Chains A and B, each alone.
Chain A
């Protein structure tokens, strides 16, 4: 290795350049296309969005604007719609991610057991994940269709409450359908992340615990959960980031009726339906700030992984 590096060094320096300059130049050239696209479509628009949010735009005269400072933000903070959207978004996130963790963990534990057809089960679990979010919303709307959906039938057959409810027409019930559609589509993702975490726990730990007489429950609580904690944390953050940005589900299910207007949907409505560009931008910048707070946590947590990915081993 040493020898080859030295030889390479000579090869580079023959061109009169310092060792490694060529490598750095190549790195720059190879990174450039990606970084330019990302700067153009992520960094610049965020800056522009912040600028838009500091201005007031005329609804009647396109192009007419005046600098408004933080007016749009104080309007947001004093509007009940904004706080409703914050509540709805966080409520949806906490409930759906919580249920997804429970369901996903159950699925992962079942898939981790050795039995015939395990590969088939993994494929089955991936089916909802492959379904488009919009289609997931349509599927669940169809299932909860009053009278002729699957859910009213099953509920009335089992004598459970909710059979006569117009689910997507009432507060609370609408949120329940939204949560269900989200859990159905994303619990499999959670399950596969947790399954990968389960697979790296060495078997001898369990064998040793068995020899010491630990029960199944004890082994789960004292070995599985603590060793799975890092995978759980990453899966939770992944899902939280997605849930906070949720847009497709309320758009298709309710258009935001019955207390299902999330932050993304509210910003979208102000921007497009009401054409309030300044105010809508302020809302989307606030959404951005909330999500980036969680995202920062995520980067901190996977930081170790990132470092090992970019580490120079030579």
Chain B
């Protein structure tokens, strides 16, 4: 038996270690992003003369601002479509009766495990042939494919929790199944929509392999590609300050969302893992 006092001491050491491990690396990035000039070649833990110059310089960089715009548009459209298509499919799987349900869901889930590299070359050829290479559409369509399985799975597990009696009452009152879905189930599953929407948005914002394969110019680059390319262009002199600032800028929205929607996100992450 460990004495309670020792136990709580060990716990606080563990908690402190976790905080250091999780926060210090990101702090370091912020630290570097606030340094300019010769400060960058010093390893100070706190910027000696903090300045926002790196931030103003990346916002004057058209490649970066257009990447931000591209990412916002692509993420918004993909998330909206994933929620619409996904909630339809999830409702059918969770509530309607038809054959081969298990098979369909198993196939859908296995798609989420596809390595994107396996479809990169064919999609590249296909998109070049039909003229949507290096466009928003060219990214939204494959993103939708990889986002749908997760959205469907999360939404179906939320739909399953909604008492069936509510829907049945609507059906008895003469509503069609689709009306029951739209007017009864969907509003009640709003938390599920938020969860699925957040996880979809995170996935799209973060995706790199398809973005780097299916785009070729700043007009379609997404933020991870733009930031990764910051480095490639100047191989011998890495613009440390501006890269760090750009990295912080594209990460902050996600950190804010995580703080605000912590419960919803954790619910979504663990939806598939621990039931049964």
Contacts and interface: CB of A to CB of B under 8 A. Distances in A.
Contact of A132 (B41, B94, B152, B224): B224
Given A23-B96, A287-B115, A306-B109, A150 B28 contact: yes
Interface in B133-153: 141-142, 144-145, 148-149, 152-153
Given A35-B89, A138-B244, A299-B106, A247 B250 contact: no
Given A115-B11, A288-B114, A288-B118, A196 B274 contact: yes
Contacts of A153: 43
How many chain A residues sit at the interface, stated as a range, is 35 or more
Consensus secondary structure, chain B interface: helix
A34 B29 contact: no
B119 A41 contact: yes
A193 B273 CA distance: 7
B164 to A, nearest CB: 7
Contacts of A188: 22
Nearest to B118: A288
B21 A27 contact: no
Interface string B37-52: 0001111010000000
Contacts of A4: 168, 171-172
Nearest to A288: B118
Contact of A31 (B19, B92, B224): B92
Interface residues of B, number: 107
A102 interface: no
Contacts of A30: 88-89, 91-92, 96
B159 to A, nearest CB: 9
A123 B258 contact: yes
Choose among B122, B157, B228 the residue with the greatest number of A CB atoms under 10 Å from its CB.
Answer: B122
A107 B20 CA distance: 12
Interface in A247-284: 247-248, 251-252, 263-264, 267-268, 271-272, 277, 280-281, 284
Contacts of A292: 110, 113-114
Contact of A299 (B28, B110, B164, B243): B110
A130 B258 CA distance: 7
A231 B18 CA distance: 21
A8 B206 CA distance: 46
A134 B104 CA distance: 33
A304 B98 contact: no
Nearest to A41: B145
A307 interface: yes
A306 B98 contact: no
A31 B89 contact: yes
Interface in A30-56: 30-31, 33-35, 37-38, 40-42, 44-46, 48-49, 52
Nearest to B24: A150
A135 B273 contact: no
Contacts of A193: 269-270, 273-274
Given A27-B92, A131-B251, A34 B85 contact: yes
A201 B66 CA distance: 49
Given A238-B273, A268-B213, A292-B113, A38 B208 contact: no
A21 to B, nearest CB: 10
8 shortest A-B CB distances, which residue pairs? A288-B118, A45-B122, A295-B113, A48-B122, A30-B88, A41-B145, A45-B119, A196-B270
Given A130-B254, A291-B118, 19 more contacts: A20-B97, A26-B96, A33-B89, A34-B89, A37-B141, A37-B145, A44-B122, A115-B11, A127-B26, A134-B208, A142-B240, A143-B25, A143-B28, A184-B25, A196-B270, A280-B121, A306-B105, A308-B276, A312-B97
19 contacts: A24-B97, A26-B178, A31-B88, A31-B89, A31-B93, A33-B84, A34-B86, A37-B141, A49-B122, A115-B11, A124-B23, A130-B202, A247-B116, A251-B208, A271-B124, A271-B213, A291-B118, A309-B156, A310-B102
